A and B are shown apart, each in its own frame.
Chain A
């Protein structure tokens, strides 16, 4: 046997003994002596100790499983699904899709009670079909031209299809468009004074006050503000308006798609500041997370979470960072420890 293996076995035996709870001062003295005998002993011990300490991180996952029951490899892998799970992106819930299809048929004057929110749809002075989602809701709407729209949480759109134009007004929130090709009828999304024009492509538009954010995952899109000629956006582009200006970041398509994980009910963070991550969670949940401590707000994290499962998120924060959560009826207040 290799010499190093023997050393490692001794080191593991010491670690096991120390870990067992039966650990006397004499034991500690004997371990110290063994560590001092040879530096190879010490480095072997430190290495195993470091690995064993890191393994304690698994406790963060323990919350999701019954005590005494060991989760399967699949179950564990699912609970730590990678951030770039593109394959998971679009299996949109069929029941929801069907529900929204039916709703669009009713369109004219429908009253809906979803959860605690009531959504009223009237034909009003302007024609067109209207759709809206409650907080935490995600819904897909097929359009008559073959395109489809997916609405994110707390979002509302109006759809007007004419011979010359396919016009969508984004009243609030965020929507993803999968546009069927039709060169004769441009597909125009309006959000306030901004226009986004597409022919056949995939992109999302998010309204943040008067500003908007556009993410393109396929094809080509033209974005116009009130006083600019417009910017052409290609796949992977993430564009934001800042008043009349347009700032464009060019990313890879998978990265751009990460930002659209909400379509399958996830939020994805990549080295994101906690303040920003929390703002994102708050879009999906009535119960708001509040950060009291600037140091906590500055924590950066990477990961993928169910957007409506803020409890797991908060629990993970508590387990892995120096963060304490205080629960009130309508808030979760985060502070440093």
Chain B
């Protein structure tokens, strides 16, 4: 069932994608063929999206990991891949199925830091092009003129930038824990007397 005003697409971006770093850690730990991780991620997302069309899960993260587990198990059954360790009751899974609580979501400032970090990870030319396009809001043509390169090159750099940025923002990125580091468990004690 889809709630009004919150499309499945929006839900997917807001509730599922933030767990990509954790998903990738999990996949890398139990899947030997590292060159297949990208395909696995996409298939898991597709399968999850299909299932969510019918019924939106309560916990996106738990659902993401159970989708991953089933998909990996299917692959093993079909005999396409044999080098898999501990599908099913992986201890790794247990620790990870806690939802992002509201305070662990990134604040706007932390998001900005993460994106800036992602930008700084880009190759120099690509970084320049993305800045001019995104921040100074120059058109592809204006960027090309400004940098003295062809429009085609600019487009190539944007394509590359789009993919690298998503990779840095969702995958490589510091986990919400790292960035947020809201150590908010304060023990408030009262000593002194009335």
Contacts and interface: CB of A to CB of B under 8 A. Distances in A.
Interface stretch (B76-84, B88-96, B163-171): B163-171
B47 to A, nearest CB: 8
Interface residues of B, number: 67
Nearest to B190: A247
B175 to A, nearest CB: 16
Contacts of A16: 155, 158-159, 162
B56 interface: no
B134 A4 contact: no
A250 B187 contact: yes
Interface string A1-13: 0111101110011
B46 A50 contact: no
Contacts of B132: 68, 70
Nearest to B136: A67
A76 interface: yes
A204 B116 CA distance: 34
Interface string B137-173: 1111000001000000001001100110111011000
A19 B59 CA distance: 33
Contacts of B165: 51-52, 54-55
B26 interface: no
Interface in A41-78: 42-44, 46-52, 54-62, 65, 67-68, 70-71, 73, 76-77
Contacts of B163: 8-9, 12, 48
A309 interface: no
Given A47-B170, A48-B163, A302 B112 contact: no
Nearest to A7: B42
B13 A2 contact: no
A52 B166 contact: yes
Given A20-B140, A48-B166, A228 B134 contact: no
B146 A244 contact: no
Contacts of B140: 20
Contacts of A38: 46
B134 A302 contact: no
Contacts of B120: 73, 76-77
A225 B42 CA distance: 63
Contacts of A8: 42, 163
B17 interface: yes
Given A47-B13, A57-B112, A58-B135, 4 more contacts: A9-B163, A55-B134, A70-B131, A245-B192
8 contacts: A2-B36, A2-B39, A15-B162, A51-B165, A62-B135, A76-B116, A271-B107, A302-B182
Interface of A: 2-5, 7-9, 12-13, 15-16, 19-21, 38-40, 42-44, 46-52, 54-62, 65, 67-68, 70-71, 73, 76-77, 79-80, 82, 84, 225, 227-231, 244-252, 255, 270-271, 300-303, 316, 320-321
